[in-house]
Amino acid sequence: MTITISSVRCALQVSLLGSVTNNLKAVKISILETNFILYFYYDNEPNDNEIDLSEIVSTEVISGYMEATAEVKRFILPEPIKIPFKEGEIFVYHRYEEYLEDN
């Protein structure tokens, strides 16, 4: 399969099904030729299950691409630290939380 932004985004969205936990804040991906870097952002230190899920997701994402490799990076970013953005990175999952003011 040809590596395109839309095909990678679709593959990552499908592979994330069932892998999103309350602790997971966001997932983004960076593509450098055939090397995919997946960034997982958490509110707190990920547990063993969340670490395993992120590895499974990375394997599933590259399974349809010949000679592709994946690297997983995990970060703990409690509020209010913002998730850094770099040109060429794609946010696939990003949890938005709204804070309602009491009237």
Query: Residue 86 carries which DSSP code?
Result: -
pTM given for the model: 0.86
Domain boundaries, the chain: 5-94
Tell me the per-residue pLDDT of 31-40, one tens digit each, with 9 for 90 and over.
999 999 999 9
3-state class of 92 per DSSP? strand
CB-based contact 89:29 (threshold 8 Å): yes
pLDDT over 60 at 44, yes or no = yes
Pick the CATH number of 5-94 from 2.60.40, 3.40.50, 3.30.70, 1.10.20: 3.30.70
**pLDDT reported for residue 95:** 85
Of 19, 81, 99, the residue nearest 54 (C-alpha) = 19
Residue 100's pLDDT band (boundaries 50, 70, 90)? Answer: very low
What pLDDT is stored for residue 79 in this prediction?
72
pLDDT digits (tens, 9 = 90+) for 65-96: 988 999 999 999 877 777 878 888 888 988 86
Could you tell me if residue 33 is left (phi over 0), alpha (psi between -120 and 50 degrees) or otherwise beta?
left
